[in-house]
Amino acid sequence: MRTVRTGGGLSLRLDLRVVGACLLLAVLALAAAVALIGSGDYPMTPAEVIATLTGGGDAGQTFIVQDLRLPRVLVGLLAGAAFGISGAAFQTVSRNPLGSPDVLGFAQGSSVGALVVIVFFQGGTVAVAGGSAVGAVVTGLAIFLLAWKRGIQGYRFVLVGIGASAMLYALVLYLLTKANIVEATRATTWMNGSLNGRDWDQVWPLAAVCAVLLPLLLCYGRPLRMLEMGDDAAYALGVRVDRVRVVVLLAAVLLVASGTAAAGPIAFVALTAPQLARRLTRAPGPNLLPAALMGATLLVAADWSAQRLFGADQLPVGVLTGVLGGGYLLWLMATERRAGRI
């Protein structure tokens, strides 16, 4: 830990391990992004990718990078960051490592919203994304209201979310039975979560939401760190607990909704990214920035791995993160059980 003094008598405490971890994750995310841009039916070396991004490629390389592959990578980076930081916010507010949007029903709520648009309105890509966002937001508000009882208690919040997840999953199955074969295929493809075919229409709305809400959540890092000590301690330190919870949860829900609308319900990134970031930094608190960078790195690296292992566009990235994240969830639950917390 190092204290840096600034003008005006202010001082800033920096954890050098956290700073180093953030720099490492940023470098890994950029490296994975360059590797992903260079992958596909027309492979490119990292040098060619960087030259094209800086304006030095030929016309064919420029078209492939800027029109076909760069939007996919940007959606992966932004959605991964949105999932990672929202997962850290949820886990901090609930004071439970299982308090993640993946577990609490937000993916199912998004799926219900998207399926309603697909099955009953035959909506296009933009309409499906809008339905997904609305479904996630409505789910978040419903869980928050059902869990509220003179405040939000961690395990009550998680239990309500798990119950909502089960009910929404049943609704997803019902909607699939109402769909014809074409609609059901389209819905199933969307629910797997994928970065395939993403273009600038998905990038700009997600970038706008992240530009507003990521800094907002980062500004709440100190109050969230105090919330981990308990409500009484936070109140004593001047934290307006209920206001912090409402603002943080609302921002996190909107980030999850926007990321899911752009990339589909990518499984378990929001669950694993905060936990891995905390193990890397070994620092207390929500670790919001490391969790965002870890989420971006995980999602882009998983998409690159899926292409390398199974070929371009053969395996949706949500399937790979689901397999890996499911194993991590089992390990986490076993660890929590041995520690006597569940």
The structure's pTM equals 0.85
How many Cα atoms within 13 Å fall on the side-chain side of residue 24?
11
Is 8 within a domain? no
3-state secondary structure of 7: helix
The pLDDT of residue 13 is 62
Six token digits for residue 145: 């209201």
Query: pLDDT per residue over 141-186, tens digit each?
Result: 888 888 777 666 666 777 888 888 888 888 888 888 887 888 777 7
Query: pLDDT per residue over 322-331, tens digit each?
Result: 777 777 777 7
CATH number of the domain bearing residue 237: 1.10.3470.10
Instruction: State which H helix or E strand residue 12 sits in.
Output: strand 11-14
The pLDDT of residue 216 is 92
Is 85 within a domain? yes
The pLDDT of residue 11 is 47
Is 290 within a domain? yes
Domain boundaries, position 155: 15-338
Is 3 within a domain? no
Task: Give the span between the Cα atoms of 272 and 5, in whole angstroms.
Answer: 35
Count structural domains, the chain.
1
Is 255 within a domain? yes
Is 6 within a domain? no
Residues of the chain with pLDDT under 70: 1-14, 150-155, 230-232, 234, 237, 311-314, 336-337, 339-342
Is 2 within a domain? no
Concatenated DSSP letters of 110-170:
HHHHHHHHHHHH---HHHHHHHHHHHHHHHHHHHHHHHBSSSB-HHHHHHHHHHHHHHHHH
C-alpha dihedral, 27 to 250 to 108 to 259, nearest 10°: -30
The pLDDT of residue 154 is 63
Task: Give the span between the Cα atoms of 278 and 70, in whole angstroms.
Answer: 30
